Structure 1
Amino acid sequence: MSVPDGYYDVPPGKIAAVVTSLEMLAPPVLPPDPADDWTLRRVAHPDADWYRDLYARIGREWLWSQRLRMSDAELAATIRAHGVEITTLEHDGGDEALLELDFRKANECELVLFGVTSKLIGTGAGRLLMNHALRRAWAQPLTRLWVHTCSFDHPRALAFYQRSGFRPYRRQIEIAPDPRLDGTLPRDVARHVPLIG
């Protein structure tokens, strides 16, 4: 589809992000794991309330909202599906990271969700979690691992994925309801995305 150059109004109540999809077609050389008192833990049967709490704590500043809008049944079916793996990172007695890998498509894996809470950004916890994700994914007979990020995410997210070995292959515009306007997220989060409406 060809779209003429220029500016386009985003409908009232909506937000628009530039989404970059990245892929990896072979296992990368991994940097050393950072050392700290973090523990990675696979969550075999994630509870919907536990998942929503962690998802919101990690993602509210980046306007993560899709999973918050799901019913308990929809969310449970998604995160407990055969071929979906959820991992967290424990720190100071609490869960502070979320990694979701989806192996349901033959020979592929999607890194669906990846993030750490604000208190762990810049500590090396993200590198530990990514190293784990890459080891776990490439332990399977994959030909492709992929992820997407958007312009609402942490400003260093795209560069982090590229340093981890992912290469961009697609760019899209995503238009969605602003989750701050319907009460899904508080109105005072994500100040880097002005609230209009």
Structure 2
Amino acid sequence: MCLDGYTPVPPTHVATVVTYLEMREPPPRPPRAPLPLDAIGADVARYRALYRAIGESWLWFGRARVGDEALLAILADPDVEALALTEDGRDIGLLELDWRKPGEAELAYFGLVPGAVGQGRGRLLMDEALRRAFARPIGRFWVHTCTLDHPGAVEFYRRSGFRPYARAIEVTPDPRLTGDLPRDAARQIPLLAE
């Protein structure tokens, strides 16, 4: 199988390169004061609003495609923790950890609303993610990101102690055409089919 060259993608789809990263033990981190994190719990509307505020400009569609009942089942699972970073009574960050696979923790979703990026909050939120993930007996903490995400995501994860171990190409129906996201989401990614 030859993977060199270009592969056509239908105009109704988007393609992205996905990078998988992992760590096997927590990197040394100084102790920090607790962050103002609030458990989202079964509040599907709150989760969706925060997910959209963070991810719409990056074309996050994973949870947008999940129905309310399925999302509620995920959020209610005792091995999933969805937390909102709050400031002045507003949700400004999302930390979602998933321990459903034995011996592993996945950083399922992690991000800040646009106005909170670049001010050190991401580092504090990641330190909390590391603390929480490794508070349980796991052998691996992993995350994946893609070329549709913030351009600094891979380097941020590397600086946090994650190491890349695999790549994949994901091709999926454009969520702006399926109705999962508004048509004006992620304007930096051309909408080819009208």
What's the TM-score bracket when you normalise by the shorter of the two chains? over 0.9
Selected match of 1:99 from 86, 95, 98: 95
Runs of 4+ in 1 over 6 A off after TM superposition: none
Query: Which residue matches 1:22?
Result: 21
Query: Which residue matches 1:130?
Result: 126
Stretches of structure 2 that go unaligned for 5 or more consecutive residues are: none
Query: Which residue matches 2:38?
Result: 41
Q: Distance in 2 between matches of 1:173 and 1:186?
A: 24
Selected match of 2:73 from 77, 87, 94: 77
User: How far does residue 62 in structure 1 lie from its aligned partner after superposition?
Assistant: 0.7
Secondary structure of 1:96's counterpart equals: strand
Moved more, 80-89 or 18-27: 80-89
Secondary structure of 1:132's counterpart equals: helix
**Inter-CA distance 79–3: structure 2 relative to 1 (3 Å threshold):** farther
User: In the TM superposition, what whole-angstrom CA distance separates every residue of 1:28-67 from its partner, at most 9, and x where no partner exists?
Assistant: 022675x9xx612233x23111111111001001101121
Stretches of structure 1 that go unaligned for 5 or more consecutive residues are: none
Query: Which residue matches 1:171?
Result: 167
Q: Distance in 2 between matches of 1:26 and 1:74?
A: 31
Secondary structure of 1:53's counterpart equals: helix
Q: Are 2:184 and 1:188 aligned?
A: yes
- Count of residue correspondences: 193
User: In the TM superposition, what whole-angstrom CA distance separates every residue of 1:122-164 from its partner, at most 9, and x where no partner exists?
Assistant: 0111111100000011111111000000000001111100000
Query: Which residue matches 2:46?
Result: 50
Query: Which residue matches 1:149?
Result: 145
User: How far does residue 182 in structure 1 lie from its aligned partner after superposition?
Assistant: 2.5
Q: Distance in 2 between matches of 1:135 and 1:95?
A: 21
Q: Distance in 2 between matches of 1:3 and 1:97?
A: 41
Aligned 8 A contact 1:21 1:149 in 2: yes
User: In the TM superposition, what whole-angstrom CA distance separates every residue of 1:64-83 from its partner, at most 9, and x where no partner exists?
Assistant: 11211222111101121120
Aligned 8 A contact 1:46 1:86 in 2: no
Secondary structure of 1:30's counterpart equals: coil
Aligned 8 A contact 1:58 1:97 in 2: yes
Structure 1-normalised TM-score? Answer: 0.92
Q: Distance in 2 between matches of 1:176 and 1:100?
A: 23
Structure 2-normalised TM-score? Answer: 0.93
Q: Are 2:158 and 1:162 aligned?
A: yes
CA RMSD of aligned residues (A): 1.7
Secondary structure of 1:67's counterpart equals: coil
